[in-house]
Amino acid sequence: MLKSYTMNPGPKKPVRVRLAPSPTGSLHIGTARTALFNWLFARQNNGKFILRLEDTDKERSEKKFEKEIQEGLKWLGLTWDEGPILNQDSYLGEFGSYRQSERIEVYKKYLQKLLDEKKAYYCYCTKEELEAERQAMIAEGLSPKYNGHCRNQINPKSDREPQVIRFVTSETKIEFTDLVRGKVIFDGSLFGDMVIAKNLETPLYNFAVVVDDEEMKISHVIRGEDHLSNTPKQILMQKALDFETPIYAHLPLILAADRSKLSKRYAETSLLDYREKGYLSSALLNFMALLGWHPEGDEEVMNLQEMTEKFDIKKIQKSGAVFSPEKLTWLNSQHIKNLSNQELFSILSAELKKKNILAEKEFLLKLIEIEKNRLKTINDFIPQTSLFFELPDYEAKLLKWKDETLPEVETSLLKSLGAVEKMSEKEFTAENIREALDSVVDSTSRGQIYWPLRVALSGQKASPDPAEIGSIIGKKETEKRIKLAIEKVTNTRENRYDQSS
């Protein structure tokens, strides 16, 4: 019978959590959500949020990804209390470097301790031998694991170089309480002796993370469910090194709408790509918070402060969280609506400047007033307001309201032109324009006046109210666009006449 190894919570200590991404790729939604939940938990408990870069994969780790991770977290507003300084190479702090590649001497000390205490050993088995052993175990219907061949050898194969360092894995039952999943039990006899380093200079992930969490006094490890199988292995190493075991919380997987694995299109999309696509950081935070957690009540639109006040790690669901692009876009539109016009002006003016579009502040504020509620992303603003900068080309038939004839359209436009020509530039407000237009609406429907005018001013089938458009582009431009529409109708009628004759 297996011995049982149960981890019970130790004495309460200051909350210290960490995000430990690998700089082998871009920061994406999954890692960013983990960062958010860690950050919220730390802020709720007057704790510390630490950023640590796990770059033990020397071949794939790149500095550009380190910078992107930091830039993404900074954009989200998830500032870290300890860790690297953005755009600086110095990662030193109270607990040494926060980049694993600069902590080799620390790992070396603990690896040597395990070797000296016979809790780890050098393994000389080659890849070919290990593969043959694996296939043999599979053929016998056994779960493949290392058989411990080199563990008790008094005289190791001196004619070979050691291949790796293995940890002496206790065949015990490992039991711990997860803040999300509750009681979790693993059978250590299924693991085999784990590889923890290639050599003293090259520790592997599971070992390095154990040492770092102890050295940096991490109290809670909040990470994705994909790391759940690593936890019992790390607990065994903690016990062997006489380390304290942190409290664990494993977050649910993020799934596609059909609850399958999230496609690479979304799973591997860089977080900063969402910024380029016109999403607000506040909306992305809101969206990520709802991937596996929901506050009490029906409220879904929240800012970071509100999330901090309402967040409860014990309310995180165990089942997978569904990623909905539609939900993200809807939340983004709500966060745009919640911005003041001045706040939105600050964001949009910067975007317009990037595209060399110059506009007066008063003009932009007018556009924001009428377009804000129609925006799904920041990037929608320029396409949706392009008509205010330049009238797009359109066909005369678009000016027709229902079954109107072209002569009727021309009559309608002439009435609108006559109404606006009587107004002064100073009087040219949306309210006054509507009043002037209403004065020429007789027994005919409003659509017969407003539809052709809307198209004349926008060149589009769907656009803001023509009175709003006119008030923004001004009296002179309004008259110019109406006359152009009349000209289109006239030319179309004449062309038809020429063709019929």
Per-residue H/E/C for 58-70: CCCCCHHHHHHHH
pLDDT confidence tier of residue 10, bands split at 50, 70 and 90: low
What pLDDT does residue 268 have? 76
d(CA 46, CA 354): 40
* More reliable by pLDDT, 9 or 366: 366
d(CA 26, CA 64): 9
For 39, 224, 326, the CA distances from 15, given in Å and listed in that order, are 11, 19, 36
Pair of tokens at residue 6: 């149960």
pLDDT at 134 over 90: no
pLDDT at 9 over 60: no
pLDDT at 98 over 50: yes
DSSP 8-56: ---S----EEEE---TTS---HHHHHHHHHHHHHHHHTT-EEEE-B---
What pLDDT does residue 1 have? 45
pLDDT at 499 over 70: no
* More reliable by pLDDT, 462 or 30: 30
d(CA 34, CA 22): 13
- Concerning whether 48 is annotated as a catalytic residue, the answer is no
**Using CB atoms within 10 A of its CB, is residue 96 exposed (0-12), middle (13-18) or buried (19+)?**
middle
d(CA 172, CA 189): 6
pLDDT at 115 over 90: yes
> Which residue from 271, 283, 217 is spatially nearest to 247, judged by alpha carbons?
217
Q: Range(s) for CATH 1.10.10.350 in the chain?
A: 396-500
Provide mean pLDDT across the span 119-145.
84
d(CA 174, CA 187): 6
* More reliable by pLDDT, 155 or 148: 148
pLDDT at 81 over 50: yes
- The one catalytic residue among 12, 58, 127, 264: 264
d(CA 475, CA 127): 81
Q: Range(s) for CATH 1.10.1160.10 in the chain?
A: 264-338
CATH number of 396-500: 1.10.10.350
Cβ neighbours of residue 343 closer than 8 Å, sequence gap 6 or more: none
Q: Are 94 and 82 within 8 A, CB to CB?
A: yes
Pair of tokens at residue 380: 């929608």
Multiple choice CATH, 264-338, 1.10.150.20, 1.10.240.10, 1.10.1160.10, 1.10.1750.10: 1.10.1160.10
- Mean residue pLDDT of the chain comes to 89
**Using CB atoms within 10 A of its CB, is residue 169 exposed (0-12), middle (13-18) or buried (19+)?**
buried
Q: β-pairing, 182-187 with 195-199?
A: unpaired
pLDDT single digits (tens) 277-290: 999 999 999 999 99
Q: Are 373 and 416 within 8 A, CB to CB?
A: no
> Which residue from 194, 189, 154, 152 is spatially nearest to 173, judged by alpha carbons?
189
* More reliable by pLDDT, 280 or 366: 280
What pLDDT does residue 495 have? 66
DSSP conformation class of 188: G
pLDDT single digits (tens) 446-492: 889 999 999 999 999 888 899 999 999 999 999 999 999 999 999 88
pLDDT confidence tier of residue 501, bands split at 50, 70 and 90: very low
pLDDT at 498 over 70: no
